[in-house]
A = this chain, B = another copy of it.
Amino acid sequence: MAWTSLALDLLGVFFFAVSGSLLAVRREFDIVGSLLLGTCVGLGGGILRDVIIDAGVPRAFDSPIYLVPPVVAAVVVYFFAHAVQRFHNLLLTFDAAGMALFSVTGTLVALAAGMNPTAAAILGVVTAVGGGVIRDVVANDVPQIFRARGLYAIPALIGAALTSLASWAGWFGVGTGTAIAAVVFALRMVSLRYR
């Protein structure tokens, strides 16, 4: 994966980790619990994808740099959480940002591992929603994806399918990837507001 894709992937890890750490703070976990939950949420979807692809050790275990975003997220949330007013909206925003990026990068990783375009898109969805499912199951909520306020699975599927299609057609680049993620994020956020 090129460094731009890596950067987008790490950004996705950070966004999901923030959503996990925010939930941890709301549930009154301590800083260690916040770091752990953020790590599980940030890395869970990608680990799930890599275990299914079955191409060796998940990248999160191979590349220690993947541990940096959750640490940063836990520290940032620890110091700023008291200043947050609209807690749930912030969590949903970070969750949407992570989901949007992972629908793109998750599909790219699956394609790079040699999966066919359809399977790669499905694995992109798994990556995009996996961390959030882990977060919600651990917190004893019904996962958002199953009972979404607004659209959730459909934007993730659109992002993964567009990424798979663009790669297949040879159109994929940093610009395309960022544009797809932006569309997915916008779809999710707009659907949250109007439903």
Are A24 and B146 in contact (CB-based, < 8 A)? yes
Q: What is the oligomeric copy number? A: 3
Q: Considering residues A55, A61, A122, which has the most beta carbons from chain B within 10 angstroms of its beta carbon? A: A61
The residue on B at minimum CB distance from A47 is B52
Count class of interface residues, chain A: 35 or more
- 8 A-B residue pairings within 8 Å (CB atoms): A29-B147, A33-B148, A36-B145, A51-B52, A54-B56, A61-B115, A61-B123, A138-B146
Compute how far the CA of A36 lies from the CA of B119 in the bound complex, rounded to whole angstroms. 16
Instruction: Report, nearest first, the 7 A-B pairs whose CB atoms are least far apart.
Output: A33-B146, A61-B119, A29-B147, A32-B153, A29-B146, A54-B56, A37-B146
Min CB distance, A186 to chain B, in Å? 19
Residues of A bordering B, CB below 8 Å: 24, 27-30, 32-33, 36-37, 47, 51-58, 61-62, 64, 115, 118-119, 122-123, 133, 137-143, 145-148, 151, 153-154
The residue on B at minimum CB distance from A148 is B33
Q: Given that A29-B146, A142-B138, A142-B140 are known contacts, is A118 also in contact with B47, CB under 8 Å in the complex? A: no
